Structure formats: structure tokens, C-alpha cells
Amino acid sequence: MVRGRPLPWFFLVALAFVATTVLADGPLLGRWYSLMCFDPNGGPVTVKKAKIRNNGVADIIIDGSAEHVLCRRVKKIPQLVHYLPCPLNLTAKSPSKTEWQFIGVNGTQSPAWRSTPHINTLNIRNLTLADEGLYRCLADTIEQGLVEEKWVFKQIDKGWQLRWMGFRGDERQFLYR
């Protein structure tokens, strides 16, 4: 390139794309991350490259297809504050209402859950889990770091029952409708 000559337009466009991709705190859709994966059948722990889709929710895509593995992030992703293991069908029933609804045992919503960022909005609908199972899930929150959690899903007449055994060994039950 001759000194004083302007840069080609396509070079400037490419440079802007790289800068926004690296520096922006935007959507996670389509980006690749390293995940530590746990085999629910007791197999070895592996580290895989996975693609997150649905923009901040847990559809874990490995090698182009969804895998039934339990994964935790190795690389800290502040925007992705929680995810659940596959198999999940993450198609939203309604674009305007794509949130988990946590209802306590007594029918009231727990204030603590509303103030907990990695629990408050999961944006998952249409669960297709075949049967009840116990899963280990690790949530990476800015305040608390990596915290091991256990989830029990059970299909009931009114929806999905979600039981959570949390940080201090306490247990809470919630109903997804």
C-alpha cells in the first residue's frame, strides 16, 4: 500500500467486524466456548468445544448436533448466567413469554429467587425430557462463582415439577407451567 493512500473499504469493514466481535458484550449466539462435560452414566469428564444457541440459554451444540451431556463452562461467560443439560427442546411457545415460572410449594414465588440472577430467567420452553432424572448442573454467577446444583425434573399433570437442592443442602420445589 502506498503511503498516504486510504485503506480499501473491505479492509475497514473486516477490521470493524473483528473489533465488534472481540470487544462487544453482545449476544452469545453462535460463539464457541470450552465446556467441561460430565457423562450422566459415569463416564470420564471431558473438555469440548461447544456452541451456545438461543442467546444465553442452554442449548449446547457439539460437533453440529445436540449432545446429551452435562456441561459447565471453563471460560467465564458473564452474559450466560445459567444453563441446563440437554435433552431440551428450546423452541419458544410465545416470543413474548419465554421464561421459567418458579412457583413455591405454598403457591407463592420466592423473593430470593427473583433476586438471584442465574435463576430468575432461563428462557426455556417446551421441555421434552423423557422421564424423571437427577442432573448435576453448575451455575456460573458473577457474585458466587461456580456453584454445584442438583435438579430433579418430573412431568406432572399441570406441567413440569422442578426440585432444586441448592448451595446449603436445602430443597425447594417449583412448578413449571
73-121 pLDDT per residue, tens: 333 333 322 333 333 322 223 333 323 333 322 333 333 333 333 332 3
Whole-number pLDDT of residue 173: 36
**Number of domains the chain is built from:** 1
For residue 58, what is the DSSP state? -
Answer whether residue 21 is part of any domain: no
Beta strands in the chain, from DSSP E residues, in sequence order: 32-38, 46-53, 59-62, 65-66, 70-73, 133-141, 145-156, 159-165, 171-176
Answer whether residue 134 is part of any domain: yes
Q: Residue 37: name the closest of 65, 74, 66 by CA.
A: 74
Whole-number pLDDT of residue 51: 53
Answer whether residue 10 is part of any domain: no
Host domain of residue 63: 28-176
Q: How far apart are CA 87 and CA 70, in angstroms?
A: 10
Answer whether residue 2 is part of any domain: no
Whole-number pLDDT of residue 88: 31
Answer whether residue 13 is part of any domain: no
Answer whether residue 92 is part of any domain: yes
Answer whether residue 9 is part of any domain: no
pTM, entire model? 0.20
Burial (CB count within 10 angstroms: exposed 0-12, middle 13-18, buried 19+), residue 122: buried
Question: Residues of the chain whose pLDDT is less than 70?
Answer: 1-7, 9-177
Q: What φ, ψ does residue 71 adopt, rounded to 5°?
A: -130, 150
Whole-number pLDDT of residue 26: 38
Q: How far apart are CA 136 and CA 141, in angstroms?
A: 16
